[in-house]
Amino acid sequence: MSDQKPEEKDIDPNKPYKGRFESYHSIPEKGRDKKSLINELSTMANEENEKWKTGQVSGTFYHAGDEHRKFLNEAFSFFSHVNTLQFDLCPSMFKMESEIISMTAKMLNCDAVKEQNPEDEVCGTVTSGGSESIMMAMKVYRDWGRAEKNISAPEIIMPDTAHPAFDKSGNYFGIKMVHIPVSEPDFRVDPKAVEAAINKNTVAIVGSAGNYPYGLIDPLEQLSDIALKHSIGFHVDGCLGGFILPWIEKLGYSIPTFDFRLSGLTSMSADTHKYGFGLKGTSVVLYRNNTLRRYQYFNVPDWAGGMYASPTGAGSRSGGLTAATWSSLVYMGEEGYLKGAKGIMDVADKIKEAVQGIPELILIGEPTFVVSFRSEEVDIYHVNDFMKTKGWRFNCLQLPPAMHFCVTMPQTAVPDIAEPMASDLKEGVEYAKSKAGTVAQTTALYGLAGTLEGNEQVTELVFGYFDYLYAV
């Protein structure tokens, strides 16, 4: 088949290669030659890379540039065949992973823990991503509550804005996740509402630094005090902000305390594959002490195949990702992370100013690297519809309707990216005014989410979409 792109109007955006490249329903009888395969893969990669290199895509691509990716890919190649579980054959794996954990803990002020209690020492594991880091911590609190407090029906309290990985944890591990709504104008969880929800089955509470919808940091100091008062766990989700907030703080921005300086904080997640600029597929989960981490480990001592044990939810894991992550942290250094954070915040500050300069838009909270906004005068989803025609990919939010743009390194590579965004946003607002009283394309999905029946419809649509994507 030809690798020439068909006319844009003929392309299904979800399956742009169908009919253009061979589709395989079974393993081919005879393998293809390497050259044609590499050509096909590079064609797809290069075309998809063009979408984010414009700087118009919110979040999604967190890497530190083509040269950095090339360097990490080289580091990956030395260990691409390695399974981190085989530590006896490849001791390099636990050398690198223990150092990744140590470097992350140090960045997040683990030394403060020793000052508060000399018997505690921050420790953790490397996981496959933020969801696994969160899920492992939630499993720890379930098992800790069972063993230490005889709690058989565990509950964990979380803000509505906390990542859905917490709900996934509840679903997978049989934990009741108690949601606390956030409200205008703060859009952060109310500590009093959290404390009011605590009961005899509560094993932990959750806060974000920062949350995905708005990039805001919950009132973590008050949550820390509540956790201490009630002798329960307190997890701070720093999957998004963990590897950039420390550097933003060092740059002089006013950032609330969010890490192990909080005396009630018992665990924290931070994604190395986001602002740590590692390859996709790694994260770190940290615990205040090894007593907690032990509840994460899994062991079957009497299996016929020998003793089986794993420290995380995954069994086999890629040694290449471990090597690339370690390489990223060591190569970037504090100097590199500070420089990256400076570039990101320069762009974010300009986007913030642009939003504040448009009267119809309302900035949500006090943003750092994620700028979120809503409107009481126009349908924000019409604004999004317009921005898509200009090549922008914002993240749409709901309950209430809003949008955000998460600034990453690709935006810093495009000179004055905030200027065309500001201009297009102004046009988008005027477009939304002209469409008043009509239904925006974006609303078709998000408008269903406010009711139980609507949620069922959304679920069916999403699951059907997955089915479609998995069809060859």
Instruction: Kindly tell me the burial class for residue 457, based on how many C-beta atoms sit within 10 Å of its own C-beta (0-12, 13-18, 19 or more).
Output: middle
Give the residue-averaged pLDDT of 367-374: 96
Question: Which helix (H) or strand (E) is 328 found in, with range?
Answer: helix 319-356
Give span(s): CATH 3.40.640.10, the chain. Answer: 92-327
Q: What is the pLDDT of residues 215-225, one digit of tens each?
A: 999 999 999 99
Q: How many CB atoms lie within 10 A of CB 44?
A: 15
Q: What is the pLDDT of residues 329-339, one digit of tens each?
A: 999 999 999 99
Alpha-carbon span 256 to 306, nearest angstrom: 49
pLDDT given for residue 447 in this prediction: 59
Give the architecture (CATH level 2) of 92-327: 3-Layer(aba) Sandwich (3.40)
Give the residue-averaged pLDDT of 444-457: 66
Q: What is the pLDDT of residues 1-39, one digit of tens each?
A: 556 665 666 678 888 888 899 999 999 999 999 999 999
Q: What is the pLDDT of residues 378-420, one digit of tens each?
A: 999 999 999 999 999 999 999 899 999 999 999 999 999 999 9
* DSSP line for 185-210: TT-S--HHHHHHT--TTEEEEEEESS
pLDDT-based confidence at 446, cuts 50/70/90?
A: low
Give the residue-averaged pLDDT of 305-320: 92
Q: Which among 273, 159, 277, 178 is positioned nearest to 220, based on CA atoms?
A: 159
Q: What is the pLDDT of residues 192-207, one digit of tens each?
A: 999 999 999 999 999 9
Two structure tokens written together for 323: 């090597």
Answer positive or negative: Cα dihedral of 275, 269, 402, 382.
Answer: positive
Helix, strand, coil % (nearest 5) of the chain? 45, 15, 45
Distant-in-sequence, close-in-space partners of 442: CB < 8 Å, separation ≥ 6: 381, 382, 384, 385, 396
pLDDT of 277 strictly over 90: yes
Give span(s): CATH 3.90.1150.10, the chain. Answer: 334-446
Instruction: Compare 208 and 63 and report the one with higher pLDDT.
Output: 208
pLDDT given for residue 19 in this prediction: 87
pLDDT of 458 strictly over 80: no
Q: Is 310 helix (H, G, I), strand (E, B) or coil?
A: strand
Q: What is the pLDDT of residues 83-132, one digit of tens each?
A: 998 888 999 999 999 999 999 999 999 999 999 999 999 999 999 999 99
In angstroms and rounded to an integer, the radius of gyration of the C-alpha atoms of the chain is 23
Mean pLDDT of all residues belonging to the chain: 93
Q: How many CB atoms lie within 10 A of CB 194?
A: 24
Among 16-25, 65-74, 227-236, 461-470, name the most confident range: 227-236
The order of strands in the sheet holding 370-374 is 362-363, 370-374, 402-406, 395-397
Q: Which amino acid is at 33?
A: D
Q: How many CB atoms lie within 10 A of CB 404?
A: 21
Question: Checking DSSP bridges between strand 370-374 and strand 402-406, what pairing results, if any?
Answer: antiparallel
Specify the CATH number for 334-446; select among 3.40.50.1240, 3.40.50.300, 3.40.50.11930, 3.90.1150.10: 3.90.1150.10
Give the residue-averaged pLDDT of 244-267: 98
pLDDT given for residue 137 in this prediction: 98
